[in-house]
């Protein structure tokens, strides 16, 4: 137990400096790359939910319960796609028309506030 405490105290300064130093570094270096990766995955999942509903709607059209479940999946898939594409469009509007730019010039999806 003493060895674990000693090792923790020894490496504490290195662990403390490993994280972001300020809020903008947290956003630009850690959060935005995660969003850039997860946004296309979420769009793909919403599209898959829509197609699952479409298959359930067409394949089991004789069963009223399955028919309604398929319709519900299609509606929620379309709602999710609409929301994600709308947010993407609003962010692109901010980026192109209102002057927000990515300070790192990485070409990511989300526009960022200019930094000094």
Residue 3 clears pLDDT 70, i.e. is over it: yes
User: Per mean pLDDT, which of 16-30, 53-67, 86-100 is the most reliable?
Assistant: 53-67
Residue 75 lies in domain: 22-116
Q: Return the SS3 of 103.
A: coil
pLDDT > 90 in the chain, percent: 19
Q: State the pLDDT at residue 50.
A: 92
4-53 pLDDT tens trace: 777 676 766 655 666 677 766 766 677 767 777 788 888 899 999 999 99
- With beta carbons less than 8 A apart as the criterion, state whether 37 and 24 touch: no
pTM exceeds 0.85 = no
Higher per-residue confidence, 95 vs 57: 57
Report yes or no on 6 lying in a domain: no
Report yes or no on 83 lying in a domain: yes
Total domains in the fold of the chain? 1
Which one, of 97, 102, 98, lies nearest residue 114 by Cα? 102
Report yes or no on 5 lying in a domain: no
Half-sphere CA count of 47, side-chain side, radius 13 A: 7
pLDDT > 70 in the chain, percent: 61
Q: Return the SS3 of 115.
A: coil
């Amino acid at each position: 137990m003493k060895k674990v405490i000693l090792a923790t105290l020894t490496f504490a300064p290195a662990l403390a400096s490993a994280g972001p130093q300020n809020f903008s570094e947290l956003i630009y270096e850690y959060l935005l790359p995660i969003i850039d990766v997860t946004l296309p995955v979420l769009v793909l999942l919403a599209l898959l939910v829509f197609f699952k509903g479409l298959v359930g709607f067409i394949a089991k059209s004789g069963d009223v319960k399955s028919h309604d479940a398929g319709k519900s999946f299609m509606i929620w898939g379309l709602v999710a796609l609409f929301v994600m594409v709308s947010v993407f469009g609003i962010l692109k509007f901010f980026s192109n028309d209102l002057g927000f730019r990515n300070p790192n010039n990485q070409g990511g999806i989300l526009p960022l506030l200019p930094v000094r």
